[in-house]
Amino acid sequence: MNFDPHHLVIAPILIPLVAGALMLFFDDRERRLKTTIALLSSLALFAVAVVLLQRVHVGNDAVALVYLLGNWPAPISINLVADRLSALMLVLTAILAIPALVFAVERWAKAGPHFHSLFQFLLVGLNGAFLTGDLFNLFVFFEVMLAASYGLVLHGSGSARVKSGLHYIAVNLVASLIFLIGIALVFGATGSLNMAEIALRAATLEGFAEPALHVGLAMLSLAFLVKAGMWPLGFWLVPAYSAAAAPVAATFAMLSKVGIYALLRLALLVPASGEAFGAMLIFIGGSFTLVFASIGVLASQSMQRASAYFVLMSSGTLLATFGISEPGSTAGALFYLISSTLAVSALFMVVELLEREQDAAADVLAVTMEAYGEANPEDEDDAEIGQMMPGALAILGIGFALLALVLIGLPPLSGFLSKFAILHAIIGPPSVEIAGGGTMRVILATLLIVSGLTALIALARMGIRTFWAPVESFAPRVTIVETAPILFLLAVLVALALQAGLVMDVVTATAGDLHDAERYLDAVLGAERVPPFAEESQ
């Protein structure tokens, strides 16, 4: 048989697909069995993702592992490509999936049918989007991801979830239509759907094909930016994420990164380092998103809503930094992507445990939540959820403080290190070698500092109202099962800071690959077919 390691590339898609389909054969009352299957699937995903990252980063100097579906060569092939960027995103997805599933065991896995299957299908879409090497299958995996997310965003019922969920579905359906039209235009201009082949042919287009390609890329960019939540395209994100169940919202923090990933992948493959995608417009949109999110964090009196605005703040920082399109700033932004995604996911879980026990009247006395339409009309009986754990409030308080340090960007955790890496690249000694763009770098540096200040004010206010001077005292009823995922994510964030040098090596190499498109093109277009079994046995 053929045990070529390239076959491992398809495993992140097959593992959750098989697990999700398998769980559909069991009744929802078989919760323990379904939980076991889902956790084993997520652990297997993590193991495979780590192996893939190790293979492409340090193994045999490989730039990418290419899997040719159907064993057809490029440009005919439908291929899956695992390079440093996609492997890094796979590892991050698996790290988030494990604690989200564990957190859901106590409450949310029981709140509606087929939670675990929907979650696994969501992972299929995420992993497939990170691995695919052609535009049509990128669309297919986007739709798989979104179809599962439609069910998850409504999971648990309640009018708030239904209202925001329907808005979420409508906006994403329109974005998907734009995505499909953009793919058609790109295919009509280049005659290919393979990303590497499109990049190769884009440099030689003439006549009507060139503007047709640019229009198609612009439509793709619009669809990606809707999914990334860029202002003014992201008004759907905060209501949907703040209404979703905590483990769902924690995983959804990764969904906005899929749009950013796709934009970064394609923008740096086409000629002129992303000018066809409008690097300046992306920078401007990212900057406005960062300003909008900072204002939203300050204005939010609900911690759930503030957590959703932190997702937008992360997207704005990433888009503005990627708009500068320099290897150093891209490396810092990738470090920030990892840090902010982990921190926001953990924050959603902490916030749920804190707000579960708080009286709605206390929130009304603190601020008028009704002005934001955030009153929760659900009359859920939480009496059986969790038992009082000694020191629960202290653990949640310490966790909240550590997450605040990361989101604000204060030392010594990874939030500070990632922002420092970006600032060092855009206004430090390396920026002297960058010709032009001085105004953009100064604006971004200013926004990074100001957004950190607004996060400091907002999170300090939340901490005081919740832990220091609450309107009514409360003792959260939580279990070890609900606390363990938060502690796990905090441990990962601490490890991220302790191993910052290793992480920077990986993201710097990843940024180098992205800004040198020839490496990706050579790996994909030069991928060899697997020989037949009969030929191997001779």
Do residues 207 and 303 both lie within one domain?
no
Residue 313 per-residue DSSP state: H
Inside any domain, residue 460: yes
Inside any domain, residue 531: no
How many domains are there within the chain? 2
The predicted model gives 145-166 an average pLDDT of 84
pLDDT of 61 above 70: no
How far apart, in whole angstroms, are the C-alpha atoms of residue 207 and residue 71?
Answer: 34
How far apart, in whole angstroms, are the C-alpha atoms of residue 228 and residue 250?
Answer: 15
Question: For residue 233, which of 282, 275, 274 has the smallest C-alpha distance?
Answer: 282
Do residues 306 and 173 both lie within one domain?
no
Do residues 163 and 225 both lie within one domain?
yes
The predicted model gives 143-150 an average pLDDT of 91
Q: How many residues does the chain have?
A: 538
Q: What's the mean per-residue pLDDT of the chain? A: 82
Task: Report pLDDT for 68.
Answer: 81
Inside any domain, residue 503: no
Inside any domain, residue 72: yes
Inside any domain, residue 511: no
Contact assessment for residue 424 and residue 430, using Cβ atoms and an 8 Å cutoff: yes
pLDDT in tens, 315-341: 999 999 988 878 888 999 999 999 999
pLDDT of 1 above 60: no
Least trusted range by pLDDT, from 77-81, 178-182, 348-352, 472-476: 472-476
How far apart, in whole angstroms, are the C-alpha atoms of residue 155 and residue 162?
Answer: 9
The residue type of 313 is M
pLDDT of 364 above 60: no
How far apart, in whole angstroms, are the C-alpha atoms of residue 449 and residue 443?
Answer: 10
Do residues 240 and 161 both lie within one domain?
yes
List, as one string, the DSSP characters of 90-132: HHHHHHHHHHHHHHHTTTGGGSSTTHHHHHHHHHHHHHHHHHB
Do residues 108 and 226 both lie within one domain?
yes
Tokens standing for 323? 């708009």
Question: For residue 349, which of 103, 152, 149 has the smallest C-alpha distance?
Answer: 103
Inside any domain, residue 516: no
Domain span holding position 54: 1-270
Task: Report pLDDT for 472.
Answer: 61
Task: Report pLDDT for 265.
Answer: 87
Tell which of 250, 270, 290 closes a domain: 270
Do residues 196 and 116 both lie within one domain?
yes
Inside any domain, residue 380: no
The predicted model gives 487-511 an average pLDDT of 92
Write the burial class of residue 199 (CB in 10 Å: 0-12 exposed, 13-18 middle, 19+ buried). Answer: buried
- Angle (CA) 387-392-394 rounded to 5° is 165
Tokens standing for 204? 């030689």
Do residues 130 and 6 both lie within one domain?
yes
Tell which of 270, 292, 316 closes a domain: 270
How far apart, in whole angstroms, are the C-alpha atoms of residue 428 and residue 441?
Answer: 10
pLDDT in tens, 374-415: 444 444 444 444 445 556 777 888 888 999 999 998 888 998
How far apart, in whole angstroms, are the C-alpha atoms of residue 272 and residue 21?
Answer: 43
Do residues 22 and 100 both lie within one domain?
yes
User: Which helix or strand (DSSP H or E) is residue 417 part of?
Assistant: helix 414-427
pLDDT in tens, 447-498: 999 999 999 999 998 888 887 766 566 666 777 888 889 999 999 999 999 9
Tell which of 210, 238, 270 closes a domain: 270
Collapsing DSSP to helix, strand or coil, 299 comes out as: helix
% pLDDT > 70, the chain: 84
What sign has the CA pseudo-torsion 506, 511, 514, 520? negative
Collapsing DSSP to helix, strand or coil, 488 comes out as: helix
Inside any domain, residue 61: yes
- Count the alpha carbons within 13 Å of 495 in the hemisphere toward its beta carbon: 9
Measured between alpha carbons, how far is residue 140 from residues 78, 83, 131, 132, 143 in Å?
A: 12, 20, 12, 10, 5
Secondary structure string (H, E, C) spanning 217-268: HHHHHHHHHHHHCCCCCCCCHHHHHHHCCHHHHHHHHHHHHHHHHHHHHHHC
